[in-house]
């Protein structure tokens, strides 16, 4: 397992990060422990969670993901060896049950960190991330930016000052962003550099063969500013495995259970998936391995956040970390990308 230094930190993280958003809903605690034990044995030391997980979000089981991770670390007595990343939720109807008047302000961030620390059974978080911005901007697949400053929520400076308090108190080691734009990232960095506040060290955004939008503007920011990408949905909800082609609905699969998740089901997206699946098979690789190996090869990658509901999926996804793509194969990927550029933002 390749290990990377995350941004400008002293955190050494595995190139594969275990995403845990199915723990407590699609996966039971016993199944989650099996996944965690296997990933740990393969050299994965980096876990990503969020206060609102598991997904789909529901008040009945919100927080169970962190609770399960906390129980696992207690059972294995390995907290000091695990790099834990979790997130505070931003405003939005889907999480309105969490707290009244959801914002990225002091009241909300304080309440969120206290809950996460309790559930994780720890006294510090290695990487604390803002799950999405507290302003109207493009994220979660939204295109066509519309400037609406009247919808700005908590000022970025105020949010960053609260995060500084958490760092100073030892509750958080480093901070990161998620579902953020190039402008947002640079604004956080500007205030950090000008006012001596904590610098963001990572941005967790979607990145896959179906969505390389991070390359348009954010990649330059990340590489010039030593901010690493934590790539989520590298298999596009499993779409890039090819299992949903021709309208297939495999039993127990995520998009079979939750058909409302249509982000990666566009017509062009399906055409792109067909092309990538054919290319993988010609190269003697599984489609999932091709997709993950491509993400693993990116120079701005800090860690690739994989997720699985079954152990065979987990084994394949972690094993892809050992696969290197030839220059010829990457060139063929680029040819497909030119035909189907970012079909699923």
**Which residues on adjacent β-strands are paired with residue 208?**
211
261 is catalytic: no
**Which is the catalytic residue, given 38, 53, 261, 276?**
53
In this structure, the chain runs to a length of 345
CA geometry: angle at 336 spanning 332 and 339, to 5°?
A: 145
Contact 204, 88 (CB under 8 A): no
Residues 6+ apart with CB under 8 A from 218: 180, 181, 182, 185, 203, 205, 229
- Distance between CA atoms of 213 and 217, rounded to whole angstroms? 8
What's phi and psi for 272, nearest 5 deg?
-65, -45
Residue from 277, 341, 284, 289 nearest 313 by CA: 289
Using CB atoms within 10 A of its CB, is residue 143 exposed (0-12), middle (13-18) or buried (19+)?
exposed
Q: Which of 3, 95, 117, 97 is nearest to 49 (CA)?
A: 117
DSSP state string for 44-97: --EEE--TT-SSS--TTTTTHHHHHHHHHHHHHT-GGG-EEEEEE--S-GGGTT
Query: Which residues does 215 contact at the CB level (< 8 Å), separation at least 6?
Result: none
Question: How far, in Å, CA of 313 to CA of 333, rounded?
Answer: 23
Residue 314 in tokens = 């987990």
Active site residues: 53
């Amino acid at each position: 397992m390749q290990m990377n230094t995350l941004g400008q930190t002293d955190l050494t993280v595995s190139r594969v990060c275990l995403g845990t958003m199915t723990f407590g809903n699609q996966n039971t605690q016993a199944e989650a422990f099996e996944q965690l034990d296997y990933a740990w044995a393969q050299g994965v030391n980096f876990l990503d969670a969020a206060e609102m997980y598991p997904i789909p979000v529901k008040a009945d089981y919100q927080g169970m993901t962190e609770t399960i991770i906390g129980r696992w670390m207690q059972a294995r007595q390995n907290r000091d060896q695990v790099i834990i990343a979790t997130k505070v939720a931003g405003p939005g109807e889907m999480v309105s049950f969490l707290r009244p008047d959801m914002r990225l302000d002091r009241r909300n961030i304080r309440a969120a960190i206290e809950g996460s620390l309790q559930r994780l059974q720890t006294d510090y978080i290695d990487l604390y991330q803002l799950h999405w911005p507290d302003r109207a901007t493009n994220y979660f697949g939204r295109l066509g930016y519309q400037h609406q400053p009247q919808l700005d929520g908590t000022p970025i400076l105020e949010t960053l000052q609260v995060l500084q308090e958490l760092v100073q108190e030892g509750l958080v080691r480093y901070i990161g962003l998620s579902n953020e734009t190039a402008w947002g990232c640079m604004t956080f960095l500007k205030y950090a550099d000008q006012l001596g506040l904590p610098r963001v060290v990572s941005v967790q955004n979607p990145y896959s063969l179906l969505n390389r939008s991070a390359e348009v503007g954010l990649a330059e920011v990340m590489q010039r500013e030593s901010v690493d990408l934590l790539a989520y949905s590298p298999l596009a909800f499993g779409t890039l495995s090819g299992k949903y082609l021709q309208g297939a609905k495999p039993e127990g699969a995520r998009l079979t259970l939750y058909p409302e998740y249509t982000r990666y089901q566009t017509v062009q997206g399906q055409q792109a998936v067909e092309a990538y699946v054919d290319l993988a098979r010609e190269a003697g690789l599984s489609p999932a391995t091709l997709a993950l190996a491509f993400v693993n090869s990116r120079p701005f990658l800090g860690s690739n956040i994989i997720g699985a509901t079954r152990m065979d999926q987990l084994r394949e996804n972690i094993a892809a970390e050992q696969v290197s793509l030839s220059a010829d194969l990457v060139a063929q990927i680029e040819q497909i990308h030119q035909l189907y550029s970012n079909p699923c933002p």
